Amino acid sequence: MADSKYTAFFARFRSLLALALMVLALSLLSEHFLTADNGWNILRQISVNLCLSIGMTLVILSGGIDLSVGAILALAGAVAAGLLKNGVGLPALDVALQFTTAGAILAGVLVGGALGWVNGFAITRFQLPPFVATLGMLSIARGLTMLWTGGFPITGLGDSFGRLGTGAFLGMPMPVWIMLALTAVFVVVTKRTRFGRHLYAVGGNERAARLTGLNVSRIKLAVYTLAGALAGVAGLIVTARLDSAQPNAGLGYELDSIAAVVIGGTSLSGGRGSVTGTVLGCLIIGVLNNGLFLLNVSPFWQQVVKGLVILLAVAIDKMNTRNRDS
C-alpha cells in the first residue's frame, strides 16, 4: 500500500522533482546560473519551444503526432516578414497591398492555422497516419518557405515588429508575456471546457468516443489547426527576435517540442497529460541547455545528454502505463 502511494506521488510530481534537482545541482556547479538575468534568459529561450509544445500537447493528447511544426514556424515567419517588408502585388488588378505590423502578425498566425488545418483534413478525411501526413507537410512547408524567400533571409523588419521578440512590458520580456498568456488560455481550455474533456476522451479511447457520439474528426481538425496557429506564433517570435526571417528557421524544433511534452508527463499513447506538465518539460530542457552551456559542455555532448533524457522520460512513461494496465 505504501509502495503504491509513493509510486503515485513520484508519477505525479516527477517532472517537478527533476527540475528542482537540476536547479540545485547547477546552482552549486555555476555561480552564474542562479541570477535574475540568467533566469530571464532561460524564460526567453523556452518561449518559442513552449508555443510549439502547447500545440504538440493537444495533438499528442488526441493520440496523434505533428512533425511539421518547425517547418510551419519557418513559413509563417517568412510570410509575415515578406508581407511587412514588401507587401503583395495583384497584377491583374494593378494593385499593391501594403501590410501594417498587426496585419503581418495576423497573416503569420493564419498561415500557421491553415497549414495545421490541412494536416487535420488529411488525417481525418483520407485516414492518413499522423506521422505520414505531417511528415509530408514538413516537406511542403519547407519548399514553400524557399519559394517565398528565394532562399535568402528577409531582413529590416522595423522596430514595431521587433518589439514582439525583443521588447518588454512592465519589466518582463514580450515573449514571456506571450508564453504566460498562451499557457493560461490552454490550461483553461484543456481542464475547464467541454472541448478539453472531449479531447481527453478521444485520446484515451477513440472508438469509445465515437460510440458516445463525439465528432472525433472535428476535434482532431481543431487540434491540428490550433497546433499550426501556435507554430505560427512561435515563428513570429523567432522572426521578430532576429529581425530576420531565415529560410531554414525551426530546423529540429519539432523534436524539442515532442521532448518537452513527453518529459512533462504526457503519454505518447494519448489521453493522459497536461499543459502544466509541458511547461515543466520546457523548463527542464531550457535549464538543461542553459546549464550545460554555462559549464562549457560541448554542443555535441549536449545533444547526447538531451537524447538520454528523452529516452529516460519515454521509458518511465511506458513503465507507468504497464503498471496502470496490470
CATH number (domain holding residue 124): 1.10.3470
Confidence at residue 120, expressed as pLDDT on a 0 to 100 scale: 98
Q: Is residue 45 part of a domain?
A: yes
Q: Is residue 240 part of a domain?
A: yes
Asked whether 182 and 227 are in contact (CB, 8 A), the reply is: no
Q: Is residue 152 part of a domain?
A: yes
Give me the domain span that covers residue 158: 17-325
Q: Is residue 9 part of a domain?
A: no
Confidence at residue 8, expressed as pLDDT on a 0 to 100 scale: 60
Q: Is residue 29 part of a domain?
A: yes
Inform me whether the pLDDT recorded for 92 exceeds 60.
yes
Q: Is residue 109 part of a domain?
A: yes
Q: Is residue 7 part of a domain?
A: no
Confidence at residue 7, expressed as pLDDT on a 0 to 100 scale: 61
Say which residues have a Cβ less than 8 Å from residue 227's Cβ, sequence separation at least 6: 55, 56, 58, 59, 66, 69, 116, 119
Query: Percent of the chain beyond pLDDT 70?
Result: 94
Asked whether 148 and 88 are in contact (CB, 8 A), the reply is: no
The model carries a pTM of: 0.94
Confidence at residue 10, expressed as pLDDT on a 0 to 100 scale: 63
Range with top average pLDDT, 3-7, 264-268, 273-277: 273-277
Q: Is residue 6 part of a domain?
A: no
pLDDT digits (tens, 9 = 90+) for 175-198: 999 999 999 999 999 999 999 999
Q: How many domains is the chain built from?
A: 1
Best CA proximity match to 47, nearest among 142, 176, 159: 176
Confidence at residue 94, expressed as pLDDT on a 0 to 100 scale: 78
